[in-house]
Amino acid sequence: MVDISVIVPVYKVEQYIIRCLESISKQTFANFEILAIDDGSPDHSADKIKEYQAKESRLQYYYKKNGGLGSARNYGIHRAKGKYICFIDSDDYIDPYYLEKLYQEAVSTNADIVCCALQQVNDSTIINVLPVDEESIWSFETPSACNKLFRRQLFVDNQIYFPEALWYEDLATIPKLLMIAHRVAIIKEPLYNYYVNAQSITHTYTKKVMDMEKVLQTLRTFYEQKKLEQYYYNMEYIHLYAGIINTTFRMLSSNLFSKREVRDWIYKIEHIYPNCYRNPIAKKRFSIKLKIFKICVQVKAIGLLKILVKIKR
């Protein structure tokens, strides 16, 4: 039995996939398998993967009909044989010690999830380092699946899988895993390299930003069914931060929504958690700029918010 299954969803990454696979192949940790899940990619990614298989026996190639990132990850989970699993996006790459350090931490602390810091990179330099600590993890602000090692049974035993055909797959899934994990461990080193693509979801906004409503609903349903009342303020915070602040920003950035639609959205989410503007996590984590934006959202000053968004962008 392998210790770790590394799941790599693949779609239109022919120029990056070899860099990703090489970073996995060169790990100091040896007992793992690589599951490259071709999500119906129309380019030459499959050819590059199959060529790389000739020198990497641990690499397995799977083809499936296109279904999106969540679908590809779920496909990998169902076929993984490792005690632990991790997800590497195919345009990203990892530090040579990534698997070894996360696995050692998981074993030594008996953790269900191990998180490390990640750094944002482009083709030539490190853009930013996103640190990890208890506060950042439990705020659910950046719930990436890609800088974490998971005990596979955490998914299987609780029937937790990524939503398909929705944006914000990580937000709909990672908080659930965190809330039911018996132990979560942290490595503060930035061992994961997240490639910043100007065409990614974080830079291009469409009407799909409205997927946030379904994502927040699935989180609330899970929270209520599992009776996880100890995470009330965490849930309230993510509704404020992701549901109201970030989604309002994206709606205004896209220029696809009227002022009335933006205002109606804010009313809809704040109605779920009426006291969210006084959330104790927000009081600690919000910068001055976010606090100003929050006040404008709270009083529904949509015109002023549009100006703030234009300045930010």
**Strand duo 59-64 + 148-151: pairing:** unpaired
Burial class (CB in 10 A: 0-12, 13-18, 19+), 1: exposed
Residues 290 and 142 in one domain: no
State the Cα–Cα distance between residues 100 and 103, nearest whole angstrom: 5
Question: Do 257 and 176 belong to one domain?
Answer: no
Contact 147, 132 (CB under 8 A): yes
* pLDDT value of residue 199: 56
Does some domain include residue 201? no
Can you give the pLDDT of all 313 residues of the chain as single tens digits?
Answer: 899 999 999 999 999 999 999 999 999 999 999 999 999 999 999 999 999 999 999 999 999 999 999 999 999 999 999 999 999 999 999 999 999 999 999 999 999 999 999 999 998 899 999 999 999 999 999 899 999 999 999 999 999 999 998 999 999 999 999 999 999 999 999 999 999 976 554 456 789 999 999 999 999 999 999 999 999 999 999 999 999 999 999 999 998 999 999 999 999 999 999 999 999 999 999 999 999 999 999 999 999 999 989 887 7
Residue 213 shares a structural domain with residue 152: no
User: How many domains, in total, are found in the chain?
Assistant: 2
Strands (E), the chain: 4-10, 32-39, 59-64, 84-87, 93-94, 113-121, 126-130, 148-151, 184-195
pLDDT of res. 301: 95
Q: Which domain holds residue 52?
A: 4-195
155 and 10 fall within a common domain: yes
CA-based angle 84:90:96, to the nearest 5?
Answer: 60
200 in a structural domain: no
- CA nearest to 297, candidates 313, 276, 312, 283: 276
Residue 51 structure tokens: 């060529």
Residue 204 has a pLDDT of: 63
Beta-strand relationship, 93-94 and 59-64: unpaired
Which of 150, 168, 195 finishes a domain? 195
What is the reported pTM? 0.94
What pLDDT does residue 1 have?
A: 87
Q: Do 15 and 37 share a structural domain?
A: yes
Domain match, 27 and 162 both: yes
* Whether residues 143 and 261 fall in one domain: no
